[in-house]
Amino acid sequence: MKQNSTIYDVCVIGSGAAGGVVAMQLAQRGASVVALEAGKWVDPAKDFYSHTMPYEAPRNGIGWDPRMHLRVDPRKEPFVSDGNTRFDYFLMKAIGGKTLLWAGLSWRNSPYDFAAWPVKYEELAPYYDRMEKLMGVTGNYDHHPNVPDGVFLKPLPWNCAAYEVKKGCEKIDPKRYRMIAARKAILTERNWSKRAACHYCGHCMRGCDSESKFTSANTSIPEAIKTGKLKLVLFANAAEVMVSKDGKRATGVRYFDARTLKSYEVKARYIVLACGPIESSRLLLMSKSSHFPTGLANSSGLVGKNLISHTTSSVQGYLKSLRGRDVMNDDGTESSHAYIASFYWDKPHPDFPKGYHIIVDSGARMGAGNTAFAQNTAGFGSDFKREARERYPALISLYSQNGMIPSPDRFVELDPRVKDKYGLPAPKIHFNITAEDRAIFKDATEKISEIVEASGGVITSTQKQPGVDSVHYVGTCKMGNDPKTSVLTPFLQSHDVENLYVADGSGFIDYSEKNPTLTVMALASRSADHVYEQLRRL
């Protein structure tokens, strides 16, 4: 075991959305920062398949995942699943983390979404502003009570299908089914970063090789490096957070080099975990000592508990009004430019406490990226081909993102038998669908179907069971003011160990329908300010 004698001000574990912000802000304010990243730098020109056409891919793209080579090999670093539904856990290790492959969706939680949180919207609003300016977020000033406006670049344009769906919403109830512009961390015009504006290739989640989409790798980490105060350690897989003899403070991190499997240590005055909610809780559970026999910072017994993700409902079909039109490039960015905002924010449904929003996805990209749409097309030979061509430019997919509350049936623990390549226990993920989840799925499916039909659409397939988002996990180290019922303070500081923070989405209390990243980054930014204030007192 080799040990660096340097004691840094802060050690940040992870370089994704939260870790990048924490490292950047602290380095910019003069703190010495070491960031441990379990992966490498990704080369956008070589590692992203943003502009690969279906005919250039294996089997014309059918069954081919252009992101799979960036995913951690589950044979070497497995996870164990347990629950009453199918789910996945998409883990990648690289500078930038999942920001490399996200769609860029950047919604603010509303005051209603913070009802049960120890942090209120007014406290977080300045940090939302700060993060939107950092990333460059596109959006329209919709003045929706449950979708707060922010600091926006010009909005993403809608395509023809979105306007047709809007007509359908207005036929049913324009006040209830209100369509708004997507908020995305994708440049529609140049901003301070000098990154290129988006050219709408439509494959954001394959990785953006033009760097138009914000990632921690093209913004936060480079800004931290410019200060000269950041030491970046690659291929550093954290294995343990070490503590002082009295157990009152974290002293450093033990990690494995992923290439050699050799063990190293790094020391710091403050430790910030930003590995993602499952990996951060796993690391705390592995960091056992006589002071913390059930895992570091776990006196409440809640580390790993309260796991949350989004569920989904979807309906696919085509619009009769667009059937047979000329095929044109109306792809835009990946995922929709138009959303039907949640309509349960002011009066929750009696069968489920959270709401959902509906994404309006459409365009020629849908057929090019999923040629299986033709499986639902009747006919044979030339008749079949003619019908497939007619439908191709009119395809739509409306799907919901459903909010969630914690359940005792959803949590993370260490598997007692399965180990990873470092000999560390694999995370065992318990994820069960509840009665509330099934009720919101049923309601969303019914409402989506109604909207499609009111828009002049023909439904060709409907999702049968709730889907579980593989990258939206949060909530494993819930925040709160009472150490007995929470793991972290509202500043994401451990109740048990005052110089330990968990700055990713682990602190979430519950889940609105909105994508988590902007709120994760705003909370991390606020947490970084808190760390800096503690450093000043040393």
Three-state DSSP class for 365?
Answer: helix
Write down the pTM of the prediction. Answer: 0.97
What are the φ and ψ backbone dihedral angles of 290, each rounded to 5 degrees?
-65, -30
Determine contact, residues 252/266, Cβ cutoff 8 Å. Answer: yes
- Decide yes or no: CATH 3.50.50.60 for domain 2-52+66-536: yes
Tokens of 70: 């960036």
CB 200 within 8 A of CB 51: no
Please tell me what DSSP assigns to residue 213: B
pLDDT of residue 366: 81
Q: Give me 427's structure tokens.
A: 């995370």
Cα separation, 503 vs 521, in Å, equals 8
Dihedral-angle region of residue 297 (phi above 0 means left; psi in -120 to 50 means alpha; beta otherwise):
left
> What's the token pair of residue 23?
């490292």
DSSP summary character for residue 231 = E
Whose CA is closest to 531, among 227, 271, 241? 271
Ordered by start, the domain boundaries in the chain are: 2-52+66-536
For residue 4, the model assigns a pLDDT of 65
Q: What is the per-residue pLDDT for 406?
A: 97
Q: How much is the pLDDT for 298?
A: 98
How would you classify the pairing of strands 33-36 and 2-13?
parallel
Q: What does the pLDDT read at residue 527? A: 98
Beta-carbon neighbour count of residue 349 at 10 Å?
15
Q: Tens place of pLDDT for every residue, the chain, 538 residues?
A: 455 679 999 999 999 999 999 999 999 999 999 999 999 999 999 999 988 887 888 877 777 888 999 999 999 999 999 999 999 999 999 999 999 999 999 999 999 999 999 999 999 999 999 999 999 999 999 999 999 999 999 999 999 999 999 999 999 999 999 999 999 999 999 899 999 999 998 889 999 999 999 999 999 999 999 999 999 999 999 999 999 999 999 999 999 999 999 999 999 999 999 999 999 999 999 999 999 999 999 999 999 999 999 999 999 999 999 999 998 888 899 889 999 999 999 999 999 999 999 999 998 878 776 767 777 788 889 988 998 899 999 999 999 999 999 999 999 999 999 999 999 999 999 999 999 999 999 999 999 999 999 999 999 999 999 999 999 999 999 999 999 999 999 999 999 999 999 999 999 999 999 999 999 999 999 999 999 999 999 8
